[in-house]
A and B are shown apart, each in its own frame.
Chain A
Amino acid sequence: MLTNFFTIALRNLLKHKIFSIINIAGLAIGMAAALLIFQYVRFELSYDKFEAHAADIYRIQMDRYNEGKLSTRWAAGTAGIGPVVKDAFPEVTSLARLYDWRGVMSYQDKEFREENMYFANDGFLPMFSSATTQGSITGALSNVNTAVLTTSAARKYFGSENPIGKNLLLNKKEPFTVTAVVPDPPANTHLKFNILLSWPTWVKWVGDPMTTQWGWDGFFAYIQLRPGADPHQLEKKIPAVIQAKWGEEMKKSKEGIVVHLQSLGNIHLSPNYMLEAEANGDGKAVKFLSIIALFIIAIAWINYINLSTARSIERAKEVGIRKTLGSIRRDLIGQFLFESFLINSFAVILALLLILACLPIFNAVAGQSLNLSMLSTASFWSMLIGIFLVGTVLSGLYPAFVLSSFKPIAVLKGRLATTSHGSLLRQTLVIGQFAASVLLMVGTFTVYRQLNYMQHQDLGVQITQTLVLKGPRVMDSTYDNKLTGFRDEVLRVPGVNSISASTEVPGHKVGWNAGGIKEVGADATKARQYRVIGVDYDFATAFGMHFLAGRNFSRDFRSDTGAVLFNESAVKNMGFNKPEDVLNKRIDFWGKQYTIVGVVSNHHQESLRESYDAHIFRLIPDANTYYSLKLTGSRDSWPATITAVKTQYKSFFPGNPFDYFFLDDRFAEQYKADQQFGETFGIFAGLAIFVSCLGLLGLAAFVTNQRTKEIGIRKIAGASVGNILSLLTRDFMRPVLLSFLIAIPLTWYALEKWLDNYAFRISLTPLLFIGPALLILAIALLTVTTQTLKAANTNPARSLRTE
Chain B
Amino acid sequence: MIKITELQKTYRTEEVETIALNKLSFEVKEGEFVSVMGPSGCGKSTLLNILGLLDDPDGGSFLFNGIEVAHFNERKRADLRKRNIGFVFQSFNLIDELTVFENVELPLIYLGVKGPERKQRVEKVLDKMQIMHRRNHYPQQLSGGQQQRVAVARAVVNNPKLILADEPTGNLDSSNGNEVMTLLTDLNEQGTTIIMVTHSEHDSRYSHRIIRMLDGQTVTENILI
Q: Does A470 contact B (CB under 8 A)?
A: no
B93 touches A412 (CB 8 A): yes
Cβ-neighbour of B78 out of A1, A7, A328, A407 (below 8 A):
A328
Q: Does B185 contact A (CB under 8 A)?
A: no
Cβ-neighbour of A324 out of B52, B75, B102, B105 (below 8 A):
B52
A321 touches B95 (CB 8 A): yes
Q: Mark A305-343, 1 if CB is under 8 A from B, else 0.
A: 000000000000110111111111101000000000000
Q: Does A4 contact B (CB under 8 A)?
A: yes
Shortest A9–chain B CB gap in Å is 9
A11 touches B49 (CB 8 A): no
Q: Does A801 contact B (CB under 8 A)?
A: no
Which residue of chain B is the closest to A13 with respect to CB atoms? Answer: B97
Docked complex: A576-628 residues within 8 A CB-CB of B: none
What residues on B are CB-neighbors of A324 within 8 Å? 52, 54, 81, 87, 93
What residues on A are CB-neighbors of B105 within 8 Å? 4
B91 touches A325 (CB 8 A): no
In this complex, how many residues of chain B approach chain A with their Cβ under 8 Å: the count is 30
A327 touches B52 (CB 8 A): no
What residues on B are CB-neighbors of A408 within 8 Å? 54
Alpha-carbon gap, A1 to B97, bound state (A): 15
B93 touches A321 (CB 8 A): yes
Q: Mark B75-108, 1 if CB is under 8 A from A, else 0.
A: 1001101110001010101111110001001110
A326 touches B95 (CB 8 A): no
B45 touches A413 (CB 8 A): yes
B82 touches A326 (CB 8 A): yes
Q: Does B109 contact A (CB under 8 A)?
A: yes
Given the known interface contacts A8-B95, A8-B97, A322-B106, the answer about A328 and B74 at a Cβ–Cβ threshold of 8 Å is yes
A326 touches B111 (CB 8 A): yes
Given the known interface contacts A1-B109, A4-B106, the answer about A325 and B49 at a Cβ–Cβ threshold of 8 Å is no
Given the known interface contacts A11-B97, A318-B95, A409-B45, the answer about A4 and B109 at a Cβ–Cβ threshold of 8 Å is yes
Q: Does A15 contact B (CB under 8 A)?
A: yes
Interface of B is mostly: helix
Docked complex: A214-272 residues within 8 A CB-CB of B: none
Docked complex: B85-143 residues within 8 A CB-CB of A: 87, 89, 91, 93-98, 102, 105-107, 109-111
Q: Does B48 contact A (CB under 8 A)?
A: yes
A328 touches B93 (CB 8 A): no
Alpha-carbon gap, A413 to B45, bound state (A): 10
Q: Does A12 contact B (CB under 8 A)?
A: yes
B54 touches A12 (CB 8 A): no
Q: Does B30 contact A (CB under 8 A)?
A: no
Which residue of chain A is the closest to B98 with respect to CB atoms? Answer: A8
Q: Does B179 contact A (CB under 8 A)?
A: no
What residues on A are CB-neighbors of B79 within 8 Å? 326
Cβ-neighbour of B49 out of A8, A12, A321, A409 (below 8 A):
A409
Alpha-carbon gap, A7 to B45, bound state (A): 32
Q: Does B55 contact A (CB under 8 A)?
A: yes
A326 touches B74 (CB 8 A): no
Which residue of chain A is the closest to B45 with respect to CB atoms? Answer: A409
Alpha-carbon gap, A218 to B45, bound state (A): 88
What residues on B are CB-neighbors of A407 within 8 Å? 54-55
Alpha-carbon gap, A329 to B74, bound state (A): 8
Given the known interface contacts A7-B98, A8-B95, A8-B97, the answer about A325 and B54 at a Cβ–Cβ threshold of 8 Å is no
A326 touches B93 (CB 8 A): no
Q: Mark B34-65, 1 if CB is under 8 A from A, else 0.
A: 00000000000100110010110000000000
What residues on A are CB-neighbors of B94 within 8 Å? 321
B93 touches A4 (CB 8 A): no
What residues on A are CB-neighbors of B154 within 8 Å? 325
Which residue of chain A is the closest to B97 with respect to CB atoms? Answer: A11
Given the known interface contacts A11-B97, A317-B93, A329-B74, the answer about A323 and B54 at a Cβ–Cβ threshold of 8 Å is yes
Docked complex: A677-734 residues within 8 A CB-CB of B: none
Alpha-carbon gap, A317 to B87, bound state (A): 14
Shortest A19–chain B CB gap in Å is 14
B89 touches A412 (CB 8 A): yes
Cβ-neighbour of A325 out of B74, B82, B96, B97 (below 8 A):
B82
B54 touches A409 (CB 8 A): yes
Alpha-carbon gap, A325 to B91, bound state (A): 16
Question: Which one of A4, A12, A322, A325 has the highest number of Cβ atoms from chain B below 10 Å of its Cβ?
Answer: A325
Which residue of chain A is the closest to B157 with respect to CB atoms? Answer: A325
Cβ-neighbour of A327 out of B48, B93, B97, B110 (below 8 A):
B110
Alpha-carbon gap, A322 to B87, bound state (A): 11
Alpha-carbon gap, A409 to B167, bound state (A): 13
Which residue of chain B is the closest to A2 with respect to CB atoms? Answer: B109
Q: Mark A281-320, 1 if CB is under 8 A from B, else 0.
A: 0000000000000000000000000000000000001101
Alpha-carbon gap, A7 to B102, bound state (A): 9
Shortest A431–chain B CB gap in Å is 28
Shortest A613–chain B CB gap in Å is 71
Alpha-carbon gap, A389 to B45, bound state (A): 42
Shortest B35–chain A CB gap in Å is 19
Alpha-carbon gap, A264 to B7, bound state (A): 76
Shortest A430–chain B CB gap in Å is 28
B98 touches A325 (CB 8 A): no
Which residue of chain A is the closest to B74 with respect to CB atoms? Answer: A328
Shortest A328–chain B CB gap in Å is 4
Given the known interface contacts A4-B102, A4-B106, A7-B102, the answer about A15 and B97 at a Cβ–Cβ threshold of 8 Å is yes
A325 touches B106 (CB 8 A): yes
Docked complex: A404-434 residues within 8 A CB-CB of B: 407-409, 412-414
B48 touches A409 (CB 8 A): yes
Alpha-carbon gap, A407 to B74, bound state (A): 12
Which residue of chain A is the closest to B52 with respect to CB atoms? Answer: A324
Question: Which one of A324, A328, A407 has the highest number of Cβ atoms from chain B below 10 Å of its Cβ?
Answer: A324
What residues on A are CB-neighbors of B93 within 8 Å? 317, 320-321, 324, 412
Alpha-carbon gap, A12 to B95, bound state (A): 11
Which residue of chain A is the closest to B151 with respect to CB atoms? Answer: A321
Alpha-carbon gap, A408 to B95, bound state (A): 13
What residues on A are CB-neighbors of B74 within 8 Å? 328-329
Alpha-carbon gap, A12 to B97, bound state (A): 7
Which residue of chain B is the closest to A11 with respect to CB atoms? Answer: B97
Alpha-carbon gap, A497 to B27, bound state (A): 114
Given A324-B54, A325-B81, A412-B91, 12 more pairs with CB closer than 8 A: A1-B110, A8-B98, A318-B97, A320-B93, A321-B94, A323-B54, A324-B52, A325-B82, A328-B74, A409-B45, A409-B52, A414-B91
Q: List 24 A-B contacts (CB under 8 A).
A: A4-B105, A4-B109, A8-B97, A8-B98, A317-B95, A318-B95, A318-B97, A321-B93, A321-B106, A322-B106, A324-B54, A324-B81, A324-B93, A325-B81, A325-B82, A325-B87, A325-B106, A325-B154, A326-B78, A326-B81, A326-B107, A328-B74, A328-B75, A413-B45
Q: Give the interface of A toward B (CB within 8 A).
A: 1, 4, 7-8, 11-12, 15, 317-318, 320-329, 331, 407-409, 412-414
Q: Give the interface of B toward A (CB within 8 A).
A: 45, 48-49, 52, 54-55, 74-75, 78-79, 81-83, 87, 89, 91, 93-98, 102, 105-107, 109-111, 154
The 4 A-B pairs with the shortest beta carbon distances in the complex, nearest first, are A326-B82, A11-B97, A326-B110, A328-B78
